[in-house]
A and B are shown apart, each in its own frame.
Chain A
Amino acid sequence: MFNLIKRIIKTGWLSFRRNGWLSVATIVILVLSISIFLGILIFNRMSKAVIQTLKEKVDVSIYFSKDTPEEDILKIREELLTRPEVSKIDYISSQRALELFTEKRKTDPLISEVLQELGENPLSPSLNIKTKNTQDYAALVDYLQNAPFKDKLTSIDLLENQKVIERLNHLGRGLNLASLLIEIILSLVAVIIAFNTIRMAIYSLREEIAIMRLVGATNSFIRWPFVINGLICALIAVFITLLIFIPLVIVFSPKVSALVPGFSLAGYFFGSFFLIFLYALLFSIFISVVSSYLAILKYLKI
């Protein structure tokens, strides 16, 4: 058995080496297919990052009347944090709200004048609430409008965000559907191209396969060296693809970050390098080994 395995591996390697151009053509196509596959992975991650960034920009602010004591607001904050849909709550005191406001409008002299004329801080303390999912905002608003502390509230600015949230949810679903469709189509294209190239390579060796059969080789003795050959091509193709991707990721990472704030291409690629390598390897091995196995079946009918 060991002898047979050794012989099959040796034959597969010999066939890979001696049919140089066929091997090169197969590797090139596999590199293209793996590139499409990795492109899909990155696109998928980027689209999720876009949605996440947009979602993080959505929040609900509840404003308290100016005479509400700080400890009451903090107690309400603690209470709200126990709700399952709430992910984060920031407390902004009147003083902090004024600081933020003046910082934002420091170039506008009229605002400073108005504030000076008023002589006191006109801004209310508030809680800035973020939920885990944008769909949860509607339920949260319902709760806030009927909450036991509703008398202390002066306003809830969620209603103004409602349309944005709905659009965002719609966009998220659309993007998910689009990326799924693109993934399916491109994966199919990659698989079909690779499968056909391997099929053509094996077709060109059909005479050899016929000779092997006439000499008394069993189907598995003929088939496995081709599968091993496919495996070698798959491994080489993965290494070449990653070697191409590494400099591209380094060069394009700042540009992608500018386009999608909050997403670091290099961070994602190198942070998940082992996982990406594994995905690419499995994809490549799956395509080449399954293609070789299936393509050769046709020529093994005795």
Chain B
Amino acid sequence: MALISFKNVTKTYQTKEGPLVVLDNISFEVAKDEFVSIVGKSGAGKTTLLKLIIAEEKPTKGRLFLEDKEINKLKGKEICLLRRRVGMVFQDFKLLADRTAFENVAFAMEVAGYPDEKIKEDVMEVLKLVGLVEKANRFPFQLSAGEKQRVAIARALIQRPDIILADEPTGNLDPINSWEIIKLLVKINELGTAVILATHVKEIINTIGKRVISLENGRIIRDEQKGKYLI
């Protein structure tokens, strides 16, 4: 069974100028240990696609699944449980400003009700994986952009999610840090977690050499294993 399935999904926003179709009859699947890049220009629908997976948006038409759970039918606490199975990394990091790196990562475990000892142990382990043990007690404003993104990745990883969604994770980073983050995501994928990376950075996609889904005006125009950025 596929981990993520989109079945004829359409997302339309109502605007003053009339309906705006952001995703138009999209269908694809992502397997359990797959690394998939979603590419396309700004406004192609990449972020909306990721928002649908974490139930931040609902599709206008069609159905989408996380394994056998129909995401668009989830409600209340089921959505919270879904979000604990899906780690999310954002371009603007979305860290809690009044909490240290350790506390930001720990928060994801606290919401799931893990005991303090387990949280301490696991958070230090994940911070070690992203190379931030030394800066565990620093607040976001005391960290560089690259370090903040690594904290965000650690937070996404801590609950051992089935999949990590990365929405333009290198958007605010310099080239060196961008590569560090991409390498980290590839490593996470190699350890068995599926990754969907949404980006418009051509060099990154062409170097990874994994599956690429190309979006244009809300439609899938290309879906290739070992794909390239060809828009």
B77-94: CB near A (< 8 Å → 1, else 0) gives 101111110001000001
A-B contact count (CB 8 A): 57
> Given A18, A19, A212, which contacts B107 in the complex, CB threshold below 8 Å?
A212
* SS of A interface (majority): helix
The smallest beta-carbon distance between B49 and chain A, in angstroms, is 16
B38 within 8 A of A: no
The smallest beta-carbon distance between B154 and chain A, in angstroms, is 12
B-chain residues with CB within 8 Å of residue A217 when the two chains form the complex: 80, 107, 111
B-chain residues with CB within 8 Å of residue A208 when the two chains form the complex: 96-98
> Given B56, B96, B110, B115, which contacts A211 in the complex, CB threshold below 8 Å?
B96
B108 within 8 A of A: yes
B-chain residues with CB within 8 Å of residue A118 when the two chains form the complex: none
Determine if B111 and A302 form an interchain contact, defined as CB atoms under 8 angstroms apart: no
B76 within 8 A of A: yes
CA distance A14 to B98 in the complex (A): 8
Q: In this complex, what residue of A is CB-closest to B51? A: A214
CA distance A15 to B108 in the complex (A): 17
Determine if A216 and B96 form an interchain contact, defined as CB atoms under 8 angstroms apart: no
- When A216-B84, A218-B77, A302-B55 are in contact, do A211 and B95 touch as well, CB less than 8 Å? yes
Interface size on B, residues (CB 8 A): 29
- When A15-B98, A211-B94, A214-B94 are in contact, do A7 and B110 touch as well, CB less than 8 Å? yes
Q: In this complex, what residue of A is CB-closest to B155? A: A215
Interface size on A, residues (CB 8 A): 21
A221 within 8 A of B: yes
A139 within 8 A of B: no
Q: In this complex, what residue of A is CB-closest to B158? A: A215
CA distance A278 to B22 in the complex (A): 57
Q: In this complex, what residue of B is CB-closest to A7? A: B110
Determine if A19 and B79 form an interchain contact, defined as CB atoms under 8 angstroms apart: no
A3 within 8 A of B: yes
Q: In this complex, what residue of B is CB-closest to A215? A: B108
CA distance A19 to B139 in the complex (A): 13
> Given A4, A18, A216, A218, which contacts B98 in the complex, CB threshold below 8 Å?
A18
The smallest beta-carbon distance between B99 and chain A, in angstroms, is 8
> Given A4, A18, A214, A218, which contacts B56 in the complex, CB threshold below 8 Å?
A214
B112 within 8 A of A: yes
- When A18-B98, A302-B79 are in contact, do A215 and B113 touch as well, CB less than 8 Å? no
A137-176: CB near B (< 8 Å → 1, else 0) gives 0000000000000000000000000000000000000000
B127 within 8 A of A: no
B54 within 8 A of A: yes
CA distance A207 to B155 in the complex (A): 17
Q: In this complex, what residue of A is CB-closest to B81? A: A216
The chain B residues found within 8 Å of chain A, CB to CB, are: 54-56, 76-77, 79-84, 88, 94-99, 103, 107-108, 110-113, 115-116, 155, 159
10 nearest interchain CB pairs?
A: A216-B83, A216-B84, A18-B98, A217-B111, A211-B94, A215-B108, A216-B80, A218-B80, A216-B111, A302-B79
10 A–B contact pairs at CB < 8 A?
Answer: A19-B98, A208-B96, A208-B98, A212-B96, A215-B83, A215-B84, A215-B88, A215-B111, A217-B107, A302-B55
The chain A residues found within 8 Å of chain B, CB to CB, are: 3-4, 7, 11, 14-15, 18-19, 207-208, 210-218, 221, 302
Could you list 19 further interchain pairs (A-B, Cβ under 8 angstroms) beyond the known A11-B110, A216-B108, A302-B76? A3-B115, A7-B110, A14-B103, A18-B99, A208-B97, A208-B98, A211-B95, A212-B96, A212-B111, A213-B83, A215-B155, A216-B80, A216-B81, A216-B82, A216-B83, A216-B159, A217-B80, A218-B111, A302-B79
